[in-house]
């Protein structure tokens, strides 16, 4: 199944109102089937890394490891890939929509939290950790919106992790929160400068090992800026 086929089939399920989007068994079954062969992602990244509009076509995000693959015409759902390197866990955060995480390459560590305060004091949030687990390749896990889905994610070791995410229609808040559990603080997340092309090259290297197909070709490197290729090779030497 390629990306276009998945988008079409997932759209049909949403039009049918198949259970709740984050927990519907039909959605999860379709996603598990799609995750079995991640070679479609290698083909996507090859095409868009080489394209001059790669970054301009991407929305600015609070996460610089995020790449948007698709947004449905009716804005009912979006498909994204997250590339997790060895920089550690992302900030603790909530979500402005329901979602589903699917494992592609490597394992994703997920630490879930429960908010304990009454939200009456601005900038204050008291969190309690409720779980610490791994999402493995082809594993599927729901994401709940707002305070029900507060978590922290990242690669559990020094290997690259790639995850596939589906997010539903925004609940209209227009932003997410970052939390500091130790300091008991909450702030509105700020959008970050993207680091996406280097991460996308790292993802292609991991996909070559995962699916046994060559994605990092000389033709691809020739069309990229020299400083981008140098940065990718520098990071690759550090992580070897």
CATH of the domain at 127: 2.60.120.10
**8 A C-beta contact, residue 49 and residue 223:** no
Q: How far apart are the first and last CA of the chain?
A: 32
**Nearest residue to 13 (alpha-carbon basis) of 83, 92, 102, 76:** 76
Mean per-residue pLDDT for 148-169?
93
Check residue 113 and give its pLDDT. 98
Q: What is the largest CA-CA distance in the chain?
A: 57
The CB density around residue 66, as the number of other CB atoms within 10 Å, is 19
Tell me the average pLDDT of the chain. Answer: 86
Q: Which domain holds residue 183?
A: 3-239
pTM, two decimal places: 0.79
Q: Please name the residues in contact with 235: beta carbons below 8 A apart, sequence gap of 6 or more.
A: 85, 198, 202
Q: Give 32-65 pLDDT, tens digit per residue.
A: 999 998 889 998 888 877 776 665 667 777 888 8
131 to 6, 90, 94, 117, 153: CA distances (angstroms): 31, 16, 15, 19, 12
| Beta strands across the sheet bearing 177-180 | 127-135, 108-115, 151-154, 92-93, 177-180, 185-188
Per the structure, the count of domains in the chain is: 1
Confidence of residue 70 (pLDDT cuts 50, 70, 90): very high
Confidence grade of residue 22 (pLDDT, cut at 50, 70, 90): very low
């Amino acid at each position: 199944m390629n990306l276009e086929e998945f988008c079409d089939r997932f759209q049909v399920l949403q039009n049918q109102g198949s259970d709740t989007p984050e927990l519907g068994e039909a959605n999860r079954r379709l996603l598990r089937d799609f995750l079995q062969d991640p070679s479609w992602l290698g083909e996507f990244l090859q095409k868009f890394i080489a394209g001059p509009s790669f970054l301009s076509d991407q929305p600015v995000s609070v996460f610089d490891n995020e790449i948007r693959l698709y947004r449905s015409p009716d804005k009912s759902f979006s498909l994204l890939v997250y590339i997790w390197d060895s920089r550690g866990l992302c900030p603790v955060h909530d979500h402005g929509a329901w979602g589903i995480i699917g494992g592609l390459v490597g394992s994703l560590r997920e630490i879930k939290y429960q908010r304990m305060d009454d939200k009456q004091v601005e900038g204050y949030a008291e969190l309690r950790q409720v779980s610490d687990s791994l999402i493995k390749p082809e594993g599927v896990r729901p994401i709940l919106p707002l305070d029900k889905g507060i978590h922290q994610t990242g690669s559990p070791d020094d290997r690259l992790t790639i995850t596939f995410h589906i997010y539903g229609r925004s609940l209209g808040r227009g932003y997410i929160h970052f939390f500091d559990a130790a300091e008991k603080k909450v702030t509105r997340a700020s959008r970050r400068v993207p680091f996406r092309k280097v991460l996308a090259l790292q993802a292609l290297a991991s996909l070559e090992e995962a699916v046994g197909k060559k994605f990092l070709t000389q033709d691809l490197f020739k069309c990229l800026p020299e400083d981008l290729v140098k940065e990718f090779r520098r990071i690759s030497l550090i992580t070897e």
